[in-house]
Amino acid sequence: MKVSVVIPVYNEEKYIKNCLDSLMNQTEKPDEIIISNNNSTDRTIEIVKNYNVKIISEHFQGIGYARNAGFNSASGNIIARCDADTLPSPDWIYKIKKAFTENINVIALSGPGSFYDYPYANINTLFTKLLYFKLTRIALGYYPLFGANMAIKKSVWNKVKDSVCTENISLHEDMDLAIHINKYGKIQFNPSLIIKLSARRFSYYLIEYPIRWFKTLRAKHNIV
């Protein structure tokens, strides 16, 4: 099993080094790391060039476009995705491989996040576990994906890559992807697959995230 890790980046000079260091210190190393540069103007790429990673460029602005470009260029049969401000635990790749090996029906995997730079770190774990994963499962009938902490079979991505709703920025790109792939197999939620991330988007989680969640849910029947 070959795992490619995709990291979309836009002006991430403050965070990207720690993220890459965490990936380099995995107990099971990723087979490749792809940095999908989405028009960064700071020192992000200068920092990235100090690591043995693949750098691609996506000029259409938006995390969905950067994600897609990274997924398309991945050579692994499993594509893992995290964000530039995340710190994957040392067993992150190991747990991803284990999940796909133990259950051939699993087509995608996701887990919650925990803040590393906020006094109440467990707030986000509670948010992602209960409000996002559990509530969305009730609403959709299956688990969603959390972009900062997910993995998907490349074969399944190839089936939906031309139909995901990248241009509609009002939709939640992770839920949209889950809606597109659900018919091909099981989306697994692993509560122990916790990834650490920055609290810099905390206000987004509280305000814009729920708005996009409702819009995506309402558009579900028009997505597929």
Three-class secondary structure of residue 107 per DSSP: strand
> Domain residues for 7?
3-223
CA distance 172 to 209: 8
Domain count, the chain: 1
Does the pLDDT value for residue 47 go beyond 60?
yes
Residue 22 reports pLDDT greater than 60: yes
The pLDDT of residue 202 is 62
CATH code where residue 63 lies: 3.90.550.10
Q: Is the predicted pLDDT of residue 45 greater than 70, yes or no?
A: yes
- 3-class state of residue 136 by DSSP: helix
Highest mean pLDDT among 79-88, 125-134, 166-175, 207-216: 79-88
Predicted confidence band at 124 (pLDDT cuts at 50, 70, 90)? low
Which H or E run includes 155? helix 154-160
* Cβ pair 56, 35 in contact under 8 A: yes
More confident call, 10 vs 125: 10
